[in-house]
């Protein structure tokens, strides 16, 4: 497993990391015992960065992860969780609520501190509140050792860029972007120079576009347009005809970029995490990549957005 520095945090993290949403049964029902075993397998095979949120499964993911972490020495992993989103449509980025949220997460996770605390899906908040209230509250928690570093997450790149530009260097230490750096959408690349200039570590998530680039296909709730879904389905079928794994290519593509510290993958299946680790450790075949990108060319960088209107990305496609 390759390890990279996460911006200026000093954390050296695995290029493939464990996303805890699956432990909350976000995509489908899971076996808790299998989920716990998946965390152990991930850490035993080199993954040292684990990300979760109280929102995933409405605290279920943190609870299951906490059970798994009881059997793993604290110095073997870096742990990230989030504040601000607690159930579908339930957001509260006030200083009081995010402060209490951290304490609640620490109790569920069974740890004294988290290495990274993140404002979850800030596109659903007023940017001024994030800058003037939420981030200062989280830095207060950093000053007393409950969190080590502070970051933000969102789907739209516009709002991530906006907050980073409007705050002093070191205020936002990491960003977590999802569905904006994958085979069919690489728009995150436009934000990389800004993040590097501010020393912000870049975390990428959803290398398969929340199921778009999988044989199972996107779930019914997926926000991608029919055009995007059809284009992604074409490339999945193309890979099947060639005998290639689209998931393997998707993971290899994302971890190959040295400007992205890590890519999160979510699963509650031990074999799946082993497969994903093997994919990440296998070099990307440039000829396969070129063939896949040609199939995706008609929808490349087509996107979807969400959140408050002022935080939306411009829609392409």
Per-residue pLDDT of 262-275, as tens digits, reads: 999 999 999 999 99
Closest C-alpha among 213, 176, 192 to residue 299: 213
Half-sphere exposure of 143 (CA within 13 A, CB side): 8
- On whether the CB atoms of residues 265 and 17 are closer than 8 A, the answer is yes
Give the pLDDT mean for 71-81: 98
Q: Please provide the average confidence, as pLDDT, over all residues in the chain.
A: 97
Q: Where are the domains of the chain?
A: 3-212+246-284
Has residue 27 got a pLDDT over 70? no
Q: What is the pLDDT of residue 25?
A: 75
Q: What is the pLDDT of residue 26?
A: 62
Per-residue pLDDT of 183-192, as tens digits, reads: 999 999 999 9
Please, what CATH class does the domain formed by 3-212+246-284 belong to? Answer: alpha beta
φ/ψ of residue 117, rounded to 5: -115, 135
Per-residue pLDDT of 277-308, as tens digits, reads: 999 999 999 999 999 999 999 999 999 999 99
Has residue 125 got a pLDDT over 80? yes
Per-residue pLDDT of 241-255, as tens digits, reads: 999 999 999 999 999
Q: What is the pLDDT of residue 15?
A: 98
φ/ψ of residue 136, rounded to 5: -60, -40
CA distances to 218, 237, 251 from 230, rounded to whole Å, are 10, 11, 21
Query: Alpha-carbon distance 3 to 243, whole Å?
Result: 30
**Of these residues, 55, 56, 77, 181, which one is catalytic?**
56
Is 56 annotated as catalytic? yes
Q: What is the pLDDT of residue 231?
A: 98
Has residue 127 got a pLDDT over 90? yes
């Amino acid at each position: 497993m390759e390890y990279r520095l996460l911006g200026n945090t000093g954390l050296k993290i695995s290029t493939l990391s464990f996303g805890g949403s699956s432990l909350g049964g976000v995509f489908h029902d899971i076996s808790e015992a299998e989920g716990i075993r998946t965390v152990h397998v991930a850490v035993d095979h080199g993954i040292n960065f684990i990300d979760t949120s109280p929102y995933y499964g409405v605290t279920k993911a943190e609870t299951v992860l906490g059970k798994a972490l009881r059997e793993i020495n604290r110095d073997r992993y870096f742990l990230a969780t989030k504040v601000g989103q607690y159930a579908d449509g339930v957001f509260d980025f006030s200083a009081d609520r995010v402060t209490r949220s951290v304490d609640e997460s620490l109790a569920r996770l069974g740890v004294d501190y988290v290495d990274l605390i993140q404002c979850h899906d800030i596109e659903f908040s007023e940017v001024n509140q994030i800058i003037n209230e939420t981030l200062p509250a989280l830095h207060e928690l950093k000053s007393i050792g409950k969190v080590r570093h502070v970051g933000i997450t969102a789907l739209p790149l516009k709002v991530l860029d906006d907050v980073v530009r409007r705050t002093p260097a070191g205020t936002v230490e990491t960003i977590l972007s999802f569905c904006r750096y994958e085979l069919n959408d690489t728009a995150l690349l436009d934000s990389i120079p800004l993040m590097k200039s501010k020393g912000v570590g870049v975390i990428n998530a959803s290398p398969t576009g929340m199921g778009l680039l999988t044989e199972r296909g996107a779930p019914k709730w997926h926000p991608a347009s029919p055009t995007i879904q059809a284009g992604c389905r074409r490339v999945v079928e193309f890979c099947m005809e060639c005998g290639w794994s689209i998931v393997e290519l998707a993971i290899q593509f994302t971890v190959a970029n040295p400007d992205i510290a890590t890519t999160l993958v979510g699963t509650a299946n031990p074999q799946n995490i082993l497969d994903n680790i093997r994919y990440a450790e296998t070099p990307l075949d440039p000829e396969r990549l070129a063939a896949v990108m040609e199939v995706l060319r008609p929808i490349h960088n087509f996107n979807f957005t969400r959140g408050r209107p002022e935080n939306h990305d411009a829609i392409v496609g």
